[in-house]
Amino acid sequence: MIDVSEAALAKGRANIEKNFERQIKKGSIDAATRDAAYALDAIILEAAWILGPLLVVAVNAVAGTAAAIIGAGVIGCGGTLLFATSRVSRSWRSPVHAGRRNKALSSPGIRILVVTMFALIAGFAAVEVALIAAARAAGASGASGVLLAVWSLGSMLAGFVYGSRSWPGTAPARVVVLLSATAVLIVLLAPQHNLVVIGAIVALSGAGGAPALSAIYRTAQHVALPGVGTESYAWLSVGTLVGSAVGAAAAGSVITAHGPGAGFMLAAAGIATAALAVGLGRHALRAPVVENTRAAVAVGG
């Protein structure tokens, strides 16, 4: 088991919240605070992955499957409406820019990040399937939930640390380092059969999740074309959803044929591919693409 210090959690959370409060009062958001914001977003996502399934199981046990499904829909719709009707959301306007209307995928950096998210989430999905298979192979199917929770918990704790301070280097460079380390740790899971050892390695490998996602989102904001930031993030979500489906399906097939170890190797390959995509595309991720409006104005005029 992992001993989580409440004091450490509170300190990390407080540091992030203080950053927000200070910048809100000043009316500006600097790069460090944006990193904290993206880290907090990734932390909340990890918390949802931990608490969501537990809530569904609890409601299902008390009121049945239909109630659990309806409850999940109500919570999802409620959260969406809460965000959409908030003062900040309603007051936001897309930046005005001259020239033709940009499309998100016109940015080479966004295209690279869509591929990155596809490969990364495919790898993460494969890890989840492989952990379930490993627990079943060890004769302890019930331990799969614990392993998944430990993995998400490691990511969430790392997100607190990442978001509470500034880090050297560029966001893409941090993504490469984090995902490369994660891939190596996932490879170490392949020959393991002891669930305690698997849990320890999973906790360490999970630490790259939230920080890497935070850095990816930060990079996406940097390379998105003017006026299409929302569409750019929507494309990252497309990569995420497709990657999740493909990764889970591929892992299931590989594990059925070759066992949990093969599933972990597949997961490591996906995560390593994500790191490679960012590394090879580092030049496109270094600076935002600026629309050449002169030609557009000449054509239109």
Over residues 25-63, the pLDDT tens digits come to: 454 556 566 666 766 776 777 677 667 777 777 788 888
In a domain, 246, yes or no: yes
Residue 287 placed within a domain: no
Give the Cα separation of 259 and 263 in Å (integer).
7
Query: Total structural domains in the chain?
Result: 1
Give the model's pLDDT for residue 210: 86
Q: What is the pLDDT of residues 123-170, one digit of tens each?
A: 999 999 999 999 999 998 878 888 888 888 888 888 888 877 778 888
Does residue 286 lie in a domain region? no
Q: Distance (Å, rounded) from C-alpha 154 to C-alpha 219?
A: 23
Is position 63 within any domain? yes
177-188 pLDDT, tens digit each: 999 999 999 999
Whether 265 is covered by a domain: the verdict is: yes
Whether residue 288 is contained in a domain is answered as no
Between CA 264 and CA 135 the distance in angstroms is 13
H/E element, 228: none
Range of the domain at 230: 15-95+102-280
Q: Is 27 helix (H, G, I), strand (E, B) or coil?
A: coil
Compute the distance between CA of residue 212 and CA of residue 182 in angstroms, rounded to an integer.
Answer: 10
CATH number at residue 263: 1.20.1250.20
Residue 210 domain flag: yes
